[in-house]
Amino acid sequence: MKLPSSQEETQVGSYFVANYPPFGSWKGELLPEAEAAVDRAREGAAPLGLYLHIPFCRKRCRFCYFRVYTDKSSRDVERYVAALAREVEIYRSRGTFASRPLEFAYFGGGTPSFLSERQLLGLAERLRRAVSWDGAREVTFECEPGTLTEGKVRAIREIAVTRLSLGVESFDDAVLEENGRAHRSGEVYRAYRWARDAGFAQVNVDLIAGMVGETRETWQHGVEETLALAPDSVTIYPMELPWNTIYARSVLEGTLQVPDWRTKREWIDHAFTELERAGYRISSAYTVVRGPECRFVYRDALWHGADMVGTGVASFSHLSGVHFQNVDGFEEYCAALEAGRLPLGRALAPTRRQLFIRELVLQLKLGRIEGPYFRAKFGVDVLEALAEPLRELAEEGLLELEEDGARLTREGLLRVDALLPLFFEPEHRGARYT
Ligand code: SF4
């Protein structure tokens, strides 16, 4: 058997599996399904989360594939923030939050901390008139360290954020410069101190393994610096090169090489080992945490089928069993909301089998799947229904079969996204995640 993971060179294309079925099968003509899902949401019983996308950045990182803008005026930003608040108000008026308190909220980007203190407080005030997150188990806010001031960190805490995530990515200034990051390491230490002083329940450090110019020495230094800061959790993603990145062009032209997959796995393994030695525990293929309690409420909820209203340009939602995505153009997004319409772009109503596969592949990223969970929720015996791919992975030493479930080995966990297409329906195995 040739596993999809046997390609070691970092080639252009998406690696990370964020959802199922892949986005290519979501269609504009299926939007009536999304509208009906919004109308049904008030009766939903699954935990509910809210994602708010702030698509602005000071600079575009050369590996970035997100919908972000680096050239918008402060008027554009104000217009966008008003549209975002309007979107949440429309969901409220359609009853989405009526009987369902938020389990989690997530300010992601882009760079949420790009907003000024005034814009941030104004946005939060308007949003909270439409939906409260005071009782949420977790409210996350992503930050680019160089955009923070002490006052802004305090303002973020004031709006009841519990989890501050710092996009550090590397502690080496030359690596940050080469990869087009806007911040430098000095700003990380400063921001971390402010975050600690402000008293967030959780401060997270985000790293990327395999940035251009990173070496074994700079990576190990970054792991040491992370340990010295002692954050509550650390996220580590391997660098990938989707088609729409600046670096993808250089790789295709043959003028750039990035660390290969074997190297990236070795570096993540090294980080995991050092963090475990310091008392952290691995909680998924990309995360380590300190202490016994769950530090990634949004992730665990989503990977177990929670609903999420995704607001902002190009944001993804999952509501009442339907996937949908907002339009991905700034003007189109703002104009729809100014006209009082939800800015929906494409949708898909997955079959029950597809919802099962979705949860299975997402939960495999946690390193373990449990038979009783899937029997109770989908009436499916995982070990029987997926006997063949599970056996193949076990033969390769990537997975261990258990009495009523399966567990990825460390080697399997480190390459999990490359393994997941084995569980897809045949028509989705070669699909691009864009
Ligand atoms: S800060 Fe994040 S979202 Fe912004 S350009 Fe860099 S990688 Fe993309």
Domains in the chain with CATH codes: 21-302 (3.80.30.20), 351-424 (1.10.10.920)
379-399 pLDDT per residue, tens = 999 999 999 999 999 999 999
Pocket perturbation via mutation, ligand 1, pick of 56, 68, 245, 315 by most ligand atoms within 8 A of CB: 68
Mean pLDDT of the chain: 94
- Does ligand 1 have an atom closer than 6 angstroms to the CB of 165? no
- Does ligand 1 have an atom closer than 6 angstroms to the CB of 68? yes
Average pLDDT over residues 102-112: 97
Average pLDDT over residues 313-331: 97
Determine the angle formed by the axes of helices 185-198 and 150-158, rounding to 10 degrees.
40
**What SS3 class is residue 48?**
strand
Question: Among 23-27, 71-75, 349-353, which is the least confidently predicted range?
Answer: 23-27
- Does ligand 1 have an atom closer than 6 angstroms to the CB of 64? yes
Whose CA is closest to atom 3 on ligand 1? 110
Q: pLDDT over 70 for what percent of the chain?
A: 97
Nearest atom, ligand 1, residue 109 CA: 3
Helices (H), 254-370: 261-277, 297-303, 330-338, 352-364
177-200 pLDDT per residue, tens = 999 999 999 999 999 999 999 999
Please choose, from the candidates 85, 64, 69, the residue with its C-alpha nearest in 3D space to the C-alpha of residue 129.
Answer: 85
Whose CA is closest to atom 2 on ligand 1? 110
Name 393's Cβ contacts closer than 8 Å, sequence gap at least 6: 3, 399, 408, 412, 419, 422
Residue 116 in this model has a pLDDT that exceeds 90? yes
pLDDT at position 431 is 67
- Structure-block tokens of residue 15: 């690696």
- Structure-block tokens of residue 233: 């959790």
pLDDT at position 294 is 64
Q: Which pTM was predicted?
A: 0.95
